Amino acid sequence: MATLAPTILIAGAPTLERYTEGILREGLQACGASVRLAIFGEEDPAPQHTTPLECLCDEELSALIQIHGSPEAEKHDRVLLAVARERLLTVSSPTALLLHRPDEIGQRFGKELSGWRFDAKARAAFVLLGTMFKGASFLSSTGLPVEVIPHGFFKTEEIFQESPIIIGAHTGWGEMRSLEHATRLLAEIFKRSDGLPIVGYLGGGPKRELALTKIEELLVAAGLGAFELVQASQLRLPLELANHPRIIVSHEGDLPPGLALTFNLQLYHLGGAVRRGESSGSLHRGVSIPVILEMNGAEILEDLRVIKVPYADPGNASSADWGAAADRVVSMVKSGQFKAQLAHNAGQAKKFSPFVVAERYLELFPRLA
């Protein structure tokens, strides 16, 4: 039986750099593990970085190979899958294949993975960040076990945003989050706010998705009357409330220092359908109350308090009942229950730190060896 290699090599596409650095390397090094990185796309790699094709078949290294699943990472994912297969055929050291977006991976690489056939000698396992795709046929057909290890929370300043209450998202728009969905929900919340200290927030990119004229058109189409859009760069602190709906828009950076999201809108879709394979790096960047259609089961795994938006048709994310979701948000605000929910989620964020995630991998590798 192979012994656990003293060094862990983490490989992945450049789209996973934040997760690789902020969760995996941060946690593994905190646990005392030696870590080497193999991240594609680095023109001038730091000394601890290595070349994937040279090192992923190194017998002396345990490997944590990440497959992202995003369109931007498809080229890198394809190379990594080929090298991972070669490693499983030739190397006896343990290998964990972390699949970040199993729904998209199934669409892009499901046929290829379904052709894999391995037994226990492979000393490898798939790892998912949630439970939704644990029984996927393109994984079970390979003969490799499927493990579930939580996403984990990034180290962030703990801010409980209780006054004013900020509702929105700082994320990438277009591919799997619709600005139309977010503005429709915000509009319904403001229609019910009755003078509550609520401020909207829409931030991230790409910039074309967050054009002020586009946001204005969507809010008007959603039936919101008088409102104000404020560029984050022009925001004055302390944040003052207005007698009309106010939405902060940020094309760069994040919310100004000292502010955070109270309710984090992550309304995932995939090709217009309700998405069930996303664990959300955005939701793991701070303490908030997630507002979701579906995730990948990560909210259950990590026992997070969330607000789920009801929908009529899983094949159509636009079938969501935004009014009912707004009622749930406003009710939680009026009752003050959101404060207890924030406190609970803060406690869970500490329970699922990078250190705890790393411990799970360090428990997994010896079992595979």
Percent of the chain with pLDDT strictly greater than 70: 93
Every domain of the chain and the residues it spans = 7-152+353-368, 165-351
Count of alpha carbons within 13 angstroms of residue 318, beta-carbon side: 6
Mean pLDDT of all residues in 94-103 = 96
Distances (CA, A) of 103 to 72, 125, 141: 15, 18, 16
Asked whether the whole model's pTM tops 0.75, one would answer yes
Mean pLDDT of all residues in 30-49 = 68
In tens, the pLDDT along 106-139 reads 999 999 999 999 987 889 999 999 999 999 999 9
Q: Using pLDDT thresholds of 50, 70 and 90, give the confidence band for residue 52.
A: low
Architecture of domain 165-351: 3-Layer(aba) Sandwich (3.40)
Same fold, 7-152+353-368 and 165-351: yes
Pick the CATH number of 7-152+353-368 from 3.40.50.720, 3.30.1370.10, 3.40.50.2000, 3.40.50.1820: 3.40.50.2000
